[in-house]
Amino acid sequence: MDLNGWVDAYLDHLRIERGLSSNTTEAYGKDLSKLLELAEQKGIKEAQCIDLALVDDYLVMLGQAGLGARSAARHLSALRGFCKFLVREKAIETDPSALADRPKTRRRLPVWLTFQEVERLLDAPDTGSDRGIRDRAMLHLMYAAGLRVSELVNLPMASVDLRRGLLAVTGKGGKSRLVPIGEVAMKEVEGYLQKVRPQLATPKETVLFLSPQGKAMTRQGFWKLTVKYARGAGITKAISPHKLRHSFATHLLQNGADLRAVQAMLGHSDIGTTEIYTHVADDHVRRVHKASHPRA
């Protein structure tokens, strides 16, 4: 099998064995296409010809193309995953990417909303209309459970247990988690289920939140309505549905939640991903101390 064939096999592995989304798999494919371009320029056609020199040339090429450290690190991550796959499949003996230095990146702190801003956003939908009842329930549930937008719009009816106040979520890589939801969000979802969903759903439709056409909403559709309600609530920050997830994690840590518990609720496989929120929470604590302590 030539190098192009191995890349195709790796993308199939990501899609089928690891259960990654089509968007994620497509992104890996785009990143690895740059490696294939360089290999073609050097006359490399076989996987066993991938070595540290090619990896170094690949990183140099990315730098010359004007990619920042963060984008270059993402490309290197895709390459490392591919090389590990080749080792596993015995196409190469050792992983040459393991010796490559990861480009240094500054970790950006997440943008989040204050609790007052979240309250204004959640109160923005007009519950005098069916669409407003649905939108309010979606915003409340997303903030209550710290959901990704893809998790929210694809949430099955069967995943909501209003009796116990739990949500069964299937996240990235097909990983499942249970997240508690508070009484306020439960009440909003219950109102939607009683007043709106029965008018939209066909007998075979299993998705919880539906468009007026009785179909699952798109991520782009929910993004647009989030921006609309944020602007109507007077929120001037750059807004997206993911900001509610950032706010969920930040508010929990500000109020003393355990980092491991927040990691489990967010569905992060690596606690290092969750730790970034502690920087935001620490800044909040410092501001409170500075404003409140007599000798600060």
Please identify every residue annotated as catalytic: 148, 172, 242, 245, 268, 277
d(CA 272, CA 107): 11
Cα(245)–Cα(188) distance, integer angstroms: 18
User: E strands, the chain, where?
Assistant: 160-161, 166-170, 176-180
The CA dihedral of 179, 23, 98, 174, to the nearest 10 degrees, is 30
Tokens of residue 240, six digits: 């997206």
Question: In Å, how far from its chain's centre is CA 84?
Answer: 24
Amino acid identity, position 134: R
**How many angstroms separate the CA atoms of 87 and 169, rounded?**
33
Backbone angles phi, psi at 275, to 5 degrees: -60, -25
Tell me if 118 sits within 8 A of 244, measured CB to CB. Answer: yes
User: Alpha-carbon torsion 152, 153, 154, 156, what sign?
Assistant: positive
End-to-end CA distance of the chain: 67
**CA atoms 201, 205, 208, 213: torsion sign:** negative
